[in-house]
Structure 1
């Protein structure tokens, strides 16, 4: 089935929008099946991903506009406004729903702060980035006065594709990532935090569903065709999200560093031409 290809080759937004709008019920089903097959996903995966993205689009409607716009330091109890808003929408203000709405408002109103990665956080993740497995050696922990069980790395690795080894030292330092992004009111609770290297955190940005929500993730920057270059951060993150274990050994970021290689060296470094492998050494 080539429906996915015909859609992907359309050259402008207006043409693509019209083509999608012109699909009848059978055409939509064929397109969905074709897209899922091309991406190696089930139709249920795509439906779940779509719902996840739409939830973020509808979240601003979960609370009355007066709450989103009122001063952050307001001491007025928001619950009466929430209850009145639900009543206008014809939605029962159950105890659970009121509690969830209040919690959402509190997350929105709370001042966001940077969470410092501490020794306990590093011990829980084995002193590795939980996404790519990069080992946090003493060089990455100098500003934390923490000693790494990996000791000193010494010389940086040579890796033409992994962007971490073609960037400044700070991109290999540990950071806290919010699995539910702060930008969509994820909280700073321990359950929502994990340790990523700065590079993977940068590559993730506000990814929510499937490999990405950015349409351009996976496309090769034009400069990469002019001269060889490491992967874009978002492409690297998306590849490991899609294939989180070494294709040869099955090992994951829990106990080894992961990188990527080209399936066909003569083809560009797009998601369909990458496979995840181990990166030897630390």
Structure 2
């Protein structure tokens, strides 16, 4: 009993913060989603907000955009991080430190500042992106003004923001793999690709699980890039659930409807997280 009390004592600060800033807001949003709640109005309507959202073309479009955003951001960032980490780990300490700092820098930089930089890059007249295309004889592209390119352009932006942390985590995980595993595989005649597929990837599964879950949650909650670069346009092509939630709550004052969006988003994230835990969990130790 004494040991359990000490354990509860040490986790109490985190538990209190978690209950105050995570559980309580979710329960409050769940409660508000049952009301027609706005400035000066609060009327109980049950599940009408959810029924309205299921018939709202803009919300369904934002849901589809969010799924596309997550499917684009998470796999590409994970694969790129594994590639960079596996390449850098074999370099000298100075080179590895340079790449760590280079990829981690966007994480500690303001996303607003990064968005402004990307606005310059995507500028259809003077931007670096179109200048690069012109070197190969291609015409200018309206990166953020064309509904067919706006969402992929945002995916590239967000990947450059979040890929730094996975790179650092994978470098740390690769450094913890005993080199004797690779030496034994080399003696048995395994090629570098076979070693990577049969040794490196399975031992990176715990790190991959953490990276995928946190990246998925972050991608679902992306807001700054949409707000700064496209404003949800053109023609709702980049409107995500988080951006629509912000508009609904703070521009139109429909707090009950926005709370319903938040509850749906929380449920979707939870489902994705459970699936990822089931698929990537492992008992491998090294």
Q: Same fold (TM over 0.5)?
A: no
More helix by share: 2
The answer to which structure has the higher strand fraction is: 1
The TM-score with structure 1 as length reference comes to 0.29
